DNA sequence: AAGTGGTCTAGACCACCAA
DNA sequence: TGGTGGTCTAGACCACTTC
């Protein structure tokens, strides 16, 4: 599995941001300098930097330089960051609790998503993620047992995608965000006082063989997550 | 105001998509072909195409080609498209109603956003946008009178940004999306039956001189807008 | 096997920002 | 004014799909 050079460089730069070699709000070395350092052209460096801008690590300033984004307390729903990556960036301690782990048969919705009949069995896993003991989100995951026969509760205490990628290659996922009113369980978990709506994201994971391998529902704690973005021009 | 060549090319390609020279789901000419047609290198064509992918007009398929995205009925909140652009793409007739147009004095929130005292006067404009007579969103705009002394109700029936850009250059805008429960006015306007939450976006516009020139609030009709995205890898 | 987009080299000139 | 990112040229090889 040979990764493009610009992805490798992006990972090395990310590591240097995480371990504070490049500090918050500081300017990165100029693109021409980095190109020399890594023995590539500026195009390759610019690809790596663009990658990190999309991940929310860097910010560009024309005529000035590329800067390490200052730490935002809130998590941003639109960023494509894994939970553990973000918590490392925020210097907070992550924890995942598996609330429920059971086998279920598919309802109409699952049968449609996974294009299967009613004999298919699914793992249903309900998890809550914490940062420094504050619940940040609640996730329901549905995984077909036929694809992941060896799944256990212990595995789901760790990274779901690390496990999934031992079995198959992920191609992409289809996501949809909807505003919903939290039920009693969510209100209590997130300590919501009034009747305030929250963000809810559904996600269908597709493997490189074009087979759906996952359906998940994610509920965001509105006190932690916000959804902001800056648009230019 | 000389635009980069890739932006010019993106506009020409967009025009060809809108007037059906390149049809829905059809493949665009290969990047090498386009490069020859426009007398530029492939890098420039790729920049133009990337631009149109971000605007939601095109879709890439490795080893196959770049395709015109099929028409989606719903508007997508995450796309950076202007209202008139999107309605043209959807082949629906847009209309803007100015519901309210008045002068107000700033409250604490406006005074903080615009960094001004209580003497500053603002235009408050409430508008509803329609596609084929279906209300798609409701917008409240706050503009400082000192910046736009000549603003009239008639002007606001047209494009807000066309007007603003006659006075100043826009640098960027800060946006935040929140889920809220609609009030009675919104429920009736969007014909919402139950107690369903909707998306609400606030936006602060900043000029190239780093002066805030606009604050706006946008309420989305949940029957029209959806918020979906595909993430790779 | 031919054609496609993905990545990359080795340069160049420009507009913008800071000192 | 010197340095920065933004844009662009004119090529090349690769991995992938199948026009």
| A167 located within any domain | yes
Q: Which domain holds residue B47?
A: 5-68
Q: At which of B68, B94, B112 does a domain end? A: B68
8 Å CB contact between A156 and A148: no
Same domain, A18 and A93: no
Which residue, chain included where needed, has tokens 């009239």?
Answer: B152
| B126 located within any domain | yes
Q: Which residues of B touch A199 (CB under 8 A)?
A: 179
Q: Are B228 and A174 in contact (CB < 8 Å)?
A: yes
Same domain, B161 and B83: yes
Q: Which residues of A touch B195 (CB under 8 A)?
A: 181
**For residues B81-98, average pLDDT:** 75
Same domain, A129 and A182: yes
8 Å CB contact between A215 and A113: yes
Same domain, A96 and A174: yes
Same domain, A153 and A219: yes
pLDDT digits (tens, 9 = 90+) for B206-217: 887 788 999 999
| A166 located within any domain | yes
pLDDT digits (tens, 9 = 90+) for B127-141: 999 988 899 999 999
| A231 located within any domain | no
A174, A175, A231: residue with CB nearest B175: A231
Q: Quote the pLDDT of residue B71.
A: 64
More confident residue, B89 or A217: A217
* Mean pLDDT score across all residues of chain B: 88
Same domain, A64 and A84: no
Band the pLDDT of B147: cuts 50, 70, 90: very high
Consecutive H or E run containing B122: strand B121-131
Which residues, in sequence order, are bridge partners of residue A144?
Answer: A122
Same domain, B15 and B52: yes
The reply to whether A41 Cβ lies less than 7 angstroms from strand C is yes
Cα of B72 to nearest chain A Cα, Å: 14
What CATH number corresponds to the domain at position B184? 3.40.1410.10
d(CA A141, CA B107): 46
pLDDT digits (tens, 9 = 90+) for B51-67: 898 888 898 888 899 99
| A40 located within any domain | yes
Consecutive H or E run containing A83: helix A83-90
The sheet carrying A75-76 orders its strands as A75-76, A225-232, B170-180, B198-207, B212-220, B134-144, B121-131, B94-105
Same domain, A80 and A191: yes
Consecutive H or E run containing A112: helix A108-114
Q: At which of A29, A45, A68 does a domain end? A: A68
| A17 located within any domain | yes
A65 CA to C18 C1' distance (Å): 11
Band the pLDDT of B98: cuts 50, 70, 90: very high
Q: At which of B68, B98, B120 does a domain end? A: B68
E strands, B58-115, are: 58-61, 65-68, 75-76, 94-105
Q: Quote the pLDDT of residue A87.
A: 66
Band the pLDDT of B169: cuts 50, 70, 90: confident
What CATH number corresponds to the domain at position A29? 1.10.10.10
Residue of B nearest to A208 (CA): B233
**For residues B72-91, average pLDDT:** 63
Residue of A nearest to B199 (CA): A179
Same domain, B171 and B109: yes
Q: What is the DSSP letter of B158?
A: S
Same domain, A80 and A60: no
| A108 located within any domain | yes
Which residues, in sequence order, are bridge partners of residue A127?
Answer: A98, A139
Q: How many domains does chain B have?
A: 2
Same domain, B94 and B197: yes
Cα of A195 to nearest chain B Cα, Å: 9
Q: Quote the pLDDT of residue A24.
A: 85
Chain B 14-53 contacts with nucleic strand C (CB below 7 A): 28, 30-33, 42-43, 46
Mean pLDDT for each 10-residue chunk of chain A (233 residues)?
86 89 90 94 94 86 89 57 63 88 94 91 96 92 95 93 84 86 95 88 87 93 81 65
Which residue, chain included where needed, has tokens 């879709």?
Answer: B59
Which of B219, B202, B216 shows the shortest CA–CA distance to B156?
A: B216
Dihedral over alpha carbons A169, B227, B173, B4 (to 10 degrees)? 60
| B232 located within any domain | no
Band the pLDDT of B184: cuts 50, 70, 90: very high
B60 CA to D17 C1' distance (Å): 13
Q: How far is CA B203 from CA A127, B175, B193, in A?
A: 34, 4, 28
Same domain, B137 and B220: yes
């Amino acid at each position: 599995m040979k990764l493009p050079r610009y992805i490798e460089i992006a990972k090395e730069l990310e590591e240097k941001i995480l371990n504070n070699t490049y500090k918050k709000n500081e300017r990165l070395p100029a693109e021409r300098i980095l190109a020399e350092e890594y023995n590539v052209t500026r195009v390759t460096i610019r690809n790596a930097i663009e990658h990190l801008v999309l991940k929310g690590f860097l910010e560009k300033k024309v005529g000035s330089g590329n800067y390490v984004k200052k730490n935002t307390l809130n998590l941003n729903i639109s960023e494509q960051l894994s939970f553990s990556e973000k918590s490392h960036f925020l210097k907070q301690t992550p924890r995942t609790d598996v609330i429920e782990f059971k086998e279920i048969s598919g309802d109409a919705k699952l049968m449609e998503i996974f294009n299967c009949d009613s004999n298919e069995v699914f793992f249903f896993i309900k998890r809550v993620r914490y940062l420094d003991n504050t619940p940040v989100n609640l996730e329901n995951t549905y995984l077909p047992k036929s694809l992941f026969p060896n799944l256990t509760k212990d595995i789901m205490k760790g990274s779901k995608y690390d496990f999934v990628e031992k079995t198959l290659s992920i191609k992409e996922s289809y996501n949809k965000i909807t505003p919903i009113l939290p039920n009693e369980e969510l209100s209590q978990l997130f300590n919501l006082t009034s009747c305030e709506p929250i963000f809810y994201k559904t996600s269908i994971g597709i493997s490189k063989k074009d087979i759906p391998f996952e359906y998940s529902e994610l509920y965001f704690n509105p006190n932690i997550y916000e959804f902001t973005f800056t648009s230019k021009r």
